Amino acid sequence: MTESEVLERAFAMPLTSPAFPPGPYRFVDREFLIVTYRTDPEVLAEMIPAPLEMTDPIVKFEFIRMPNSTGFGDYTESGQVIPVRFQGQVGGYVHAMYLDDMSPIAGGREIWGFPKKLASPVLCVEKDTIRGVLRYGQIPIAVATMGYKHRALPHDNILASLSAPNYLLKIIPHVDGRVRICELVRYFCEDITIKGAWQGPAAIELFHHALAPVAALPVREVISGVHIVTDLTLGLGTVVHDYLAR
């Protein structure tokens, strides 16, 4: 294989059998359970990397079921998103993500810088309740519940929230262990179709774990629970701040 052939083929690892295909990445019937809660503002401020700014001491804990996604297949994801402000624009900083499929773990980390780790999240309907359970190994670290489809929500409001910018801290080390890439990345969800959105009574419990510290952002008050079904495309990212540029 010549050097030019290497460059032509090299978009992901391993070279001869990449862990994921090139995008775009379309998600059909993507289902969210989002429990928004108030947390400790001093602790939250320590988690947000500058130049992002904290808005309110709020965390969105998300369980996401993805049964039909281009290249990534069928998987479930869970994690914490923090509302932030960047250059006057409000968006969400993806703080932590846990999922059960190698392909989107590799693709998410390598392309955008999603903070993904291997775990075992579940999102399902049980009688009159939609529930999300996140396990790291055999240990449950998050349990969220919401009354199933109690009140419909306006699609315009949900579309606006899903269309807002999202931010990631992309970190890739050099071969000697030093940081080679350290960037703030912005991305958007695109071509969004809201198929349904509902609100209901919600609850969430977080449990401490040394390697999956979701409970480091403690629950002080549950604000809302939202259940969404949508189709969307995960847009590619843009570097908006390079920490190593100076």
Please write the tens of the pLDDT for every residue from 192-219.
999 999 999 999 999 999 999 999 999 9
Please give the chain's pLDDT, 246 residues, in tens.
Answer: 999 999 999 999 999 999 999 989 999 999 999 999 999 999 999 999 999 999 999 999 999 999 999 999 999 999 999 999 999 999 999 999 999 999 999 999 999 999 999 999 999 999 999 999 999 999 999 999 999 999 999 999 999 999 999 999 999 999 999 999 999 999 999 999 999 999 999 999 999 999 999 999 999 999 999 999 999 999 999 999 999 997
Within 160-213, strands assigned E span 166-173, 179-187, 189-199, 202-206
Q: 3-state secondary structure string, 60-98? A: EEEEEEEEEECCCEEEEEEEEEEEEEECCEEEEEEEEEE
> What b/e string do you get for 131-154 counting C-beta neighbours within 10 Å, with b at 16 or more?
bbbbbbeeeebbebbbbeeeeebe
Domain enclosing residue 103, as ranges: 24-242
Q: Supply 103's token pair.
A: 């392909």
Is residue 4 in some structural domain? no
Q: Is 116 a catalytic residue?
A: yes
CATH number for the domain that contains residue 121: 2.40.400.10
Annotated catalytic residue within 60, 116, 117, 127: 116
Is residue 77 in some structural domain? yes
Note the pLDDT tens digit of each residue in 69-82.
999 999 999 999 99
Q: Which residues are CB-neighbours of 96 under 8 A, at least 6 positions away?
A: 79, 80, 115, 117, 212, 213, 214
Is residue 19 in some structural domain? no
Confidence (pTM): 0.96
Is residue 5 in some structural domain? no
Pairing mode of beta strands 25-38, 116-118: unpaired
Q: How many domains does the chain have?
A: 1
